[in-house]
Structure 1
């Protein structure tokens, strides 16, 4: 059922009395009351991370059927591949890990268990992301676009419509993919810059200043901390850039610049959202590693139900993360537009008017 996009989401009571019976009227009133609760503050004030989470939960409750379909069809397959590391080539990962350890040793870093584990995880992540890239640029990117569309539907007082989603995705797919490729390029550049900077700093302290290997670990940790902050900000900008490429007619570098400008002054909220999502994903990944890959009861029957359960849990964390990014975009956008006394209008509906009757 599609809900009117007017400012007042409640239907006319006299028209309802003429067209539907008393029970249908009550059901319609309840549905519109729930929707009004979700969109009551479409012109947002500046929202905290907790308020964005609450808003996300309200949107999830209203459009639950659409979001469950997105989870089942688009997010769960990617989550299963990511958690199981089924596409990771162990020999290639081991080769890359050894090369990283050799570089670390030559730059003066002590080969402690922490350094070895970091090199191993970095190599596994690089190999996994590289081999899973076709999956990320199709299903994962489609899920992000579908989530943004569903959130936009809620704020436009409309129900999730798969036919409209198909029309919209066909129109915006090129710019979304182009933006995603730039996102991958920016994140890869940040990681490469970090590795180069880490090697340079370690080499300076070890070869030029003559510091012992054990002490070199401390400046390396400082570099790692600064990198984590920069990477977190970069990922926040990249996530909002993908949302912008869905909702606005910009892509690539323009979307990244637009994202950086849009979240200015709201970076702390974005960092809290990123931190919460990262902790949630890491927690589920750790459980999967321990309960499914390492532990099993007797003949391994525990994996039959624990594996799918953890995949579903991970998929929901991914869904909430994508939804919060979209809500964060609407919060920043509406706050900026209200400050400039501009009027906010539904974004994606115009794309479907000429094509969907």
Structure 2
């Protein structure tokens, strides 16, 4: 089935040119073999998180101008809106929402420590900021994810990004892409709501049984830790669902179910990818919070160049995260084929191309 060198994370692709002529084109990180006979198979191998990162960088180098255009036109505006949203939101609304959350926490028996107060304030800011940026999330952000998925797919097919072809494809798949994103939002909101309900129930139960404040805090931390793992898995499933609905003819809950089945056995790799991306985004957001929102030199001229620089850094992290999700999808497909289709010769790209041709991509 898949042949792969254990010492290298490289994927191997067989590439045949038209009219019988054979020409080797080298995509960084993709080792091309001369075709044998009429069987030309794109060979993949499941990868760990570091190998996926390396593969992502290789693809980025192969089609750097295309990915740069996507980042500039689609990702940067959304990144700027996300980072600047906290500067323009109605702080009185944030304060009212924070106070209500603190009252609920106090009623449930959760002690109002500085950490709890700060967490409630951050949650209120994130909720209002996400609501404000939702129109951008469902348009530019969703469009950028689809463009990156197709760019990765075309890179594996040794093609450059074609804006006209991408536009025709998007006209056909836009509805199912939006449908999948709406279901993603419902999953995320459901996870957060379930976490708050469980947290309040646990704190109320501990308070009723007369547990000490310290034990209530420990119980809340345990619930928070469990929620973090569940939420991370939900985000991973949602990210892969977007890739699936772009490359395959499925959408909505079907894409989410298929995504959950696809990453089975590769969850640890997905968690590492999610952790790395989350740390990167949090780091840039922290820098923006400190350097642009609260710190300035003299007349505040530092914001003139530090703000745009941090927006570019945030956009780059988002770009790498979306590309890694696409590469992770191919890795999971390879893993599933390795474990369930041993002895059969299948090409992942041929399978994906069959689904992609249904929406007009050649």
Q: Give the TM-score normalised by the residue count of structure 1.
A: 0.88
Which residue pairs with 1:67 in the alignment? 67
Give 3-state SS (helix, strand or coil) of 1:46's partner.
coil
1:142 aligned partner: 143
How far has the Cα of 1:10 moved from its partner? 6.8
Give how far 1:93 is off: 1.4
Residue 15 (structure 1) shift: 6.5
- Cα 1:186–1:349 change in 2 (3 A) is closer
Aligned positions, number: 335
Q: Aligned residue for 1:350?
A: 357
Tell which deviates more after alignment, 308-317 or 43-52.
43-52
Runs of 5+ unmatched residues, structure 2: 1-12, 34-40
1:265-304 aligned at under 5 Å gives the runs 265-304=265-304
- Cross-structure match for 1:309: 309
Q: CA deviation at 1:39?
A: 6.6
Distance in 1 of aligned mates of 2:166 and 2:153: 11
Question: 2:155 aligned with 1:162, yes or no?
Answer: no
Aligned-pair CA distance for 1:80: 0.4
Give yes or no for contact 1:337–1:343 (8 Å, CA) kept in 2: no
Residue 9 of structure 2 is matched in structure 1 by: none
Q: Kindly tell me: are residues 60 and 11 of structure 1, through their superposed partners in 2, closer, same or farther at Cα, counting changes over 3 Å? A: farther
Tell me the SS of whatever aligns to 1:255: helix
1:10 and 1:62, CA in 2 relative to 1: closer, same or farther beyond 3 A?
A: farther
Change (3 A) 1:66 1:79: same
Pair 1:82 & 2:82 matched: yes
Do the aligned residues in 2 keep the contact of 1:284 with 1:314 (CA within 8 Å)? yes
Deviation per CA, 1:202-257: give whole Å up to 9, x if none. 00111x21123333111000000000000000100011011111011111110000
Aligned to 1:94: 95
The answer to whether structure 1 residue 37 and structure 2 residue 41 are counterparts is no
Q: Tell me, what secondary structure is at the counterpart of 2:46?
A: coil
Q: Which residue of the partner structure matches residue 3 of structure 1? A: none
Gaps of 5+ in 1: 1-5, 17-27
Q: CA RMSD in A?
A: 2.2
**How far 1:337 sits from its partner (Å)?**
3.2
Specify the alignment match of 1:226 in structure 2. Answer: 226
Q: CA–CA distance in 1 between the matches of 2:75 and 2:63?
A: 17
Match of 1:183 in 2: 184
Equivalent residues of 2:60, 2:67 under 8 A apart: yes
- Aligned 8 A contact 1:144 1:322 in 2: yes
SS in 2 for 1:300: coil
**What secondary structure, in the 3-state scheme, does the structure 2 residue paired with 1:33 have?**
coil
Hey, what does 1:7 align to over in structure 2? 14
1:91 CA displacement: 1.7
In structure 1, distance between residues paired with 2:15 and 2:176: 34
The CA distance in 2 between the partners of 1:38 and 1:252, in whole Å, is 35
Contact 1:45 1:335 survives alignment (8 Å): yes
Cα distance in 1, alignment partners of residues 91 and 315 from structure 2: 25
Counterparts of 1:119 and 1:240 in 2: how far apart (Å)? 30
| Segment of structure 1 superposing worse, 332-341 or 275-284 | 332-341
Instruction: Give the CA deviation at 1:349.
Output: 5.5
Please show how residues 117-266 of structure 1 align to structure 2 within 5 Å. Answer: 117-206=118-207, 208-266=208-266
Give the structure with the larger helix fraction. 1
Shift of 1:343: 3.1
Question: What is the CA distance between 1:131 and its match in structure 2?
Answer: 1.7
Instruction: Tell me how far apart the structure 2 counterparts of residues 296 and 87 of structure 1 sit (CA, whole Å).
Output: 18
The reply to whether residue 109 of structure 1 matches residue 104 of structure 2 is no
**Any conservation in 1 of the 2:172–2:359 contact (CA below 8 Å)?**
no
Deviation, 1:64, is 0.6
Give 1:43 shift.
Answer: 2.5
> Residue 249 of structure 2 contacts residue 358 of structure 2 at CA under 8 Å; is this kept in 1?
no
Q: In the aligned structure 1, how far is the partner of 2:199 from the partner of 2:94?
A: 21
